[in-house]
């Protein structure tokens, strides 16, 4: 069997089998970050993201934006766990024909975003490679009481997203602001039950919350804050790289959040019993069932 | 200017410029691992290594050995700082045509070595890629008093290597045992002044110690423990991927180590004032000066 048939999530499920972890691991494979014991009051977050030329960016993409994106994607993972990014390493596979100017711009984009967020660039590795390949690994921290995972959504929780959804391919995927500030505002002032960042598309990432929490969801399509760049609602639901946060909280907490009238947080639906699956309700009250996805093609 | 002209170490020097680190970083770019504040008595070690098909292994290499090597290389970095490996993430760029069987064997090799060393596999990332590309990032720990860097070699220090040197390309680079046990024996029982793992070749890696410590060295060629696979002394001195440890300690400590008669540790020379550079002495007493290398081609 080819790996393309198993799919990314099939492979991840396969990898989780027969892994023995010691008690220093709070959460291993299967969330936005690994969660590790750290200090008395804090956990450490550990994540990595690989970007490959031709897949995650084009050969002609401004290297400043590639470097920026490489850092931002991992920051988004840390945000999804409610944490603060602290340190990063960069492993770089570089074609021989790369210019020093290109690499300088790449690191400018990365280092500028890091500096603004007080993240330490502490090391890395450099290899020859056919196409530019970047793997950024990042450490972060989160107060134990503020850690949010994908797995604790409860029935009646209200589902929110930050910002707007869809059309990221037209530019936002290279320029998005990882939602660190918003995540910190949330975890410090509200009880967030589950959270994920939208990297694979809203329905796909909501599926991850529903699967790990063993719940269902009702989404009201007209509540989804569509980006002006989004081609259609369908595209917005399924296209990836929004890097917005998707989170759930109890109705009472949700009411409190909504009362703050912060435009950046939009309620889009609610969590229900697992037996309902994922239900999308359109403007006219029409209902359709969305598959809870556990597959992504290579 | 092309990156191939600047070289790997030129690029690293360039990257270190204008980096601002906060006080949680004990050692950033430029050693085997980044060293971070952790607990009252311990530092955390953070490292990553990228392996690319066609460069670090062949397309036909047994995937079990590729997976094993990906983990072992990072373990070797942790060993070089005197530490114990704890957790790892794997970022994997996979060609679409890869078989599930290949990936299963790859992870078997990695997970078996991890299990034997109680290292937790805690997450990762998967991407499409033209050739198999692996970046493994690892966290480790070391007692503050046992941390060893490259930068503290002193004049008169005796220089040692573990195991044997050269010919790794004939197989050892895929099957080596990272010198965790030996490193721990050393740091717990002796005062080690500087240490590095030999990944780029003995003279290249000794150069790193000499440059960061601002010292010179005299190496006695006949003392170098040549591997039976080594083609010649010259090849052994310059070929990479031995993944042995190169370390220095004061004469008194060295005497104590030598008195233990452990075959695995071989004294090969001594540290001298920086003005002498690196001097190689052959069997007949002939002397030649080796360039202190700060360049590696892409």
* Chain B CB contacts of A102 below 8 Å: 3
Q: Which of B161, B142, B138 is nearest to B75 (CA)?
A: B138
Tokens for B38?
């952790």
User: What pLDDT is attached to residue A19?
Assistant: 87
Please report the pLDDT score of residue B263 as a whole number: 95
Spell out the residues 6+ positions from residue A185 whose beta carbon is closer than 8 angstroms to its own: none
Q: Do residue A179 and residue A284 come from a single domain? A: yes
Task: Report how many domains make up chain A.
Answer: 2
Question: Which residue in chain B has the smallest CA separation from A33?
Answer: B123
- pLDDT per residue over B163-177, tens digit each? 999 999 998 999 999
The domain boundary, picked from B126, B144, B162, lies at B144
Q: What is the reported pLDDT for A294?
A: 60
Q: Which residues of A touch B102 (CB under 8 A)?
A: 3
Contact yes or no for B131/B58 (Cβ under 8 A): no
- Out of B36, B120, B298, closest to residue A28 by CB: B120
pLDDT at B295: 61
Q: Are residues B166 and B270 in the same domain?
A: yes
What does the alpha-carbon distance between residue A6 and residue B161 come to, in Å, rounded to a whole number? 45
Q: Where residue B59 sits, what CATH number does that domain have?
A: 3.30.1330.10
| Same structural domain, A67 and A126 | yes
Interchain CB distance below 8 Å, B125 and A104: no
Give the nearest chain A residue to B28 (CA atoms): A122
Q: Do B11 and A104 touch (CB under 8 A)?
A: no
| Structure confidence by residue, pLDDT tens digits, B5-51 | 888 888 888 888 878 899 999 999 999 999 999 999 999 999 999 99
**Among candidate residues A111, A145, A179, the one where a domain is terminated:** A145
B140 and B153 in a single domain? The answer is no
**Amino acid A232: pLDDT:** 92
CB–CB of A128 and B298 under 8 A? Answer: yes
User: A205, A198, A185: which is closest to A245 by C-alpha?
Assistant: A198
Helix/strand/coil percent split, chain B, to 5: 35, 30, 35
Domain harbouring A241, CATH code: 3.90.650.10
Range of the domain at A140: 3-145
pLDDT in tens, B197-224: 999 999 999 999 999 999 999 999 999 9
**Does residue B294 register a pLDDT over 70?**
no
Global ipTM: 0.95
Question: Do B266 and B210 share a structural domain?
Answer: yes
B240 in the same domain as B224:
yes
Same domain, residue pair A60 and A153: no
A295 occurs within a structural domain = no
| Gap between the Cα atoms of B237 and B226, Å rounded | 9
Strand partners of residue A290:
A278
Nearest by CB to A28, from B97, B104, B122: name it: B122
**H/E element holding B233?**
helix B233-238
pLDDT confidence of residue B78: 98
Q: B280 and B232 in one domain?
A: yes
What pLDDT is attached to residue B297? 63
Higher-scoring residue by pLDDT: A59, B141:
B141
Asked if B36's CB is within 8 angstroms of A39's CB, the reply is no
The reply to whether B278 falls in a domain is yes
Tell whether A161 and A136 lie within a shared domain: no
Low-confidence ranges of chain A (pLDDT < 50): none
In chain B, what residues touch A12 (CB-CB under 8 Å)? 126
Query: Which of B86, B94, B107 comes nearest A298 by C-beta?
Result: B94
CB contact under 8 A, B122 and A46: yes
Q: Answer whether residue A98 is part of any domain.
A: yes
* pTM for this model (two decimals): 0.96
pLDDT tens digits for range B241-288 = 999 999 999 999 999 999 999 999 999 999 999 999 999 999 999 999
Q: What is the mean pLDDT of chain B?
A: 94
Q: What is the pLDDT of residue A239?
A: 85
Taking contacts as CB-CB distances below 8 angstroms, the residues of chain A near B130 are 52, 54, 130-131
Burial profile A195-223: b = 16 or more Cβ within 10 angstroms, e = fewer: bbbbbbbbbbbbbbbbbbbebbbbbbbee
């Amino acid at each position: 069997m080819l790996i393309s048939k198993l799919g990314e999530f099939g492979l991840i499920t396969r990898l989780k089998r027969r892994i023995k972890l010691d008690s220093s691991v709070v959460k291993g494979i299967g969330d936005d970050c690994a969660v590790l014991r750290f200090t008395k009051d804090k956990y450490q977050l550990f994540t990595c993201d690989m970007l490959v030329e031709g897949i995650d960016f084009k050969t002609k993409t401004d290297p400043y934006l590639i470097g920026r994106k490489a850092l931002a994607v991992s920051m988004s993972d840390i945000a999804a766990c409610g944490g603060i990014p602290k340190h990063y390493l960069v492993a770089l596979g570089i074609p021989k024909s790369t210019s020093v100017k290109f690499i300088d711009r790449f690191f400018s984009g990365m280092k500028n975003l890091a500096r603004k967020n007080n993240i330490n660039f502490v090391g890395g590795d450099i290899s020859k490679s056919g196409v530019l390949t970047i793997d950024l690994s990042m450490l972060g921290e989160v107060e134990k009481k503020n850690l949010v995972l994908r797995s604790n959504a409860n029935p009646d929780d209200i589902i929110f997203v930050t910002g707007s959804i869809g059309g990221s391919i037209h530019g936002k995927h290279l320029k998005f602001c990882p939602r660190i500030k918003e995540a910190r505002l949330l975890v410090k002032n509200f009880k967030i039950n589950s959270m994920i960042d939208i990297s694979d598309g809203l329905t796909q990432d909501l599926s991850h919350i529903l699967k790990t929490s063993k719940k269902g969801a009702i989404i009201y399509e007209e509540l989804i804050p569509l980006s002006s760049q989004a081609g259609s609602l369908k595209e917005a639901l399924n296209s990836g790289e929004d890097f917005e946060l998707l989170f759930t909280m109890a109705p009472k907490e949700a009411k409190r959040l909504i009362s703050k009238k912060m435009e950046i947080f939009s309620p889009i639906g609610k969590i229900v019993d697992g037996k309902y699956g994922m239900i999308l309700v359109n403007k006219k009250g029409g209902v359709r069932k969305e598959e809870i996805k556990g597959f992504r093609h290579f």
